[in-house]
Structure 1
């Protein structure tokens, strides 16, 4: 198997395991077993479990951003594109393997001293806030830049809490309530 295909297989396998079972409950040997590769092969691609986790976070985020942008940009222009963020969550929640936000799941498991993983997650979340801000500017630009930033952060907090609470309760109502709150602050 080509070098890049082996690496991708490791990332996809680890992504599934980390998301389903958690970072701490997934061992290197389990990743090796599930991918069907030798330990040396894994270490030719990644020097540590932390490095695999960083690749996992990138992989999940890249897929998420691609999917949510397609979903949101297919909604009618205007507030509907902002509401589509929450409609996307409903689709995400209804998938059989829904287990909340991979970033929040991971950050809850790592020690506070692990700055590499923390920084990766912070960067991804800041980029998502920037995406929300861009949606506001393109679809609801009634504010100066600092107000759009503040509003984007509010929508982001509602969005993140909707994911966390829907995981906790295993119900869709937190997402529906999040959408309702988003509508309230935009009207």
Structure 2
């Protein structure tokens, strides 16, 4: 395996462990075993478990944002573009081993001293919120900045709660509920 491939293999393998069993429950030796590599090989790629975690969060978020943008672009009608995040969530829920949001799951395990991981999660959530603002701005005409933030913030909060609740209840009803509530955020506005 080439260096770049091995690097990605470590991130993916460790990420699978973090997502399924938790960050704190996953040890370095378990990551080494799952990757079938030597300890020195792992440390030639990453200085610490925290560095692996940050790489995993970035990999996972990047893939998520690419997928979300693709979902939005595939929708023709503006209302459907505004609701695309819930369609993506439903598909994610139906995939094997849905455990909720990887970032929030990680956040629940952080100690107050783990500020580097916290900053990455916060930045990723801000990026999602900003992107939702772009989708709102592209699909609803004549909105003020405050109105755009209110609608995109509402979509964001509905999405985040649907992720958490669908994982909690092991059911997709929260996704359908959030999707059905979302149009009330923009019902009085002119869709493009």
TM-score, scaled to structure 2 = 0.94
Aligned to 1:80: 80
Q: What is the CA–CA distance in structure 1 between the aligned matches of 2:142 and 2:165, rounded to whole Å?
A: 30
Q: Does 1:144 align with 2:153?
A: no
Q: What is the CA–CA distance in structure 2 between the aligned matches of 1:30 and 1:180, rounded to whole Å?
A: 42
- 1:64 is displaced (CA, Å) by 0.6
Aligned to 1:135: 135
Q: How many residues were matched structurally?
A: 187
Q: What is the CA–CA distance in structure 1 between the aligned matches of 2:112 and 2:139, rounded to whole Å?
A: 38
Q: What is the CA–CA distance in structure 2 between the aligned matches of 1:35 and 1:115, rounded to whole Å?
A: 27
Moved over 6 A (4+): none
Aligned to 1:12: 12
Aligned to 2:110: 110
- 1:150 is displaced (CA, Å) by 2.3
Q: What is the CA–CA distance in structure 2 between the aligned matches of 1:77 and 1:86, rounded to whole Å?
A: 15
Q: 176-185 or 100-109: which moved more?
A: 176-185
The root-mean-square deviation of aligned C-alpha atoms, in Å, is 1.0
Aligned to 1:163: 163
Q: What is the CA–CA distance in structure 2 between the aligned matches of 1:142 and 1:87, rounded to whole Å?
A: 26
Q: What is the CA–CA distance in structure 2 between the aligned matches of 1:72 and 1:24, rounded to whole Å?
A: 35
Q: What is the CA–CA distance in structure 2 between the aligned matches of 1:119 and 1:82, rounded to whole Å?
A: 27
TM-score, scaled to structure 1 = 0.97
- 1:85 is displaced (CA, Å) by 1.0
- 1:30 is displaced (CA, Å) by 0.7
Q: What is the CA–CA distance in structure 2 between the aligned matches of 1:86 and 1:17, rounded to whole Å?
A: 26
User: Structure 1 stretches of 5 or more lacking a match?
Assistant: none
Q: Does 1:56 align with 2:72?
A: no
Q: Are the equivalent residues in 2 in contact too, given 1:141–1:148 (CA < 8 A)?
A: no
SS in 2 for 1:109: coil
Q: 114-123 or 133-142: which moved more?
A: 133-142
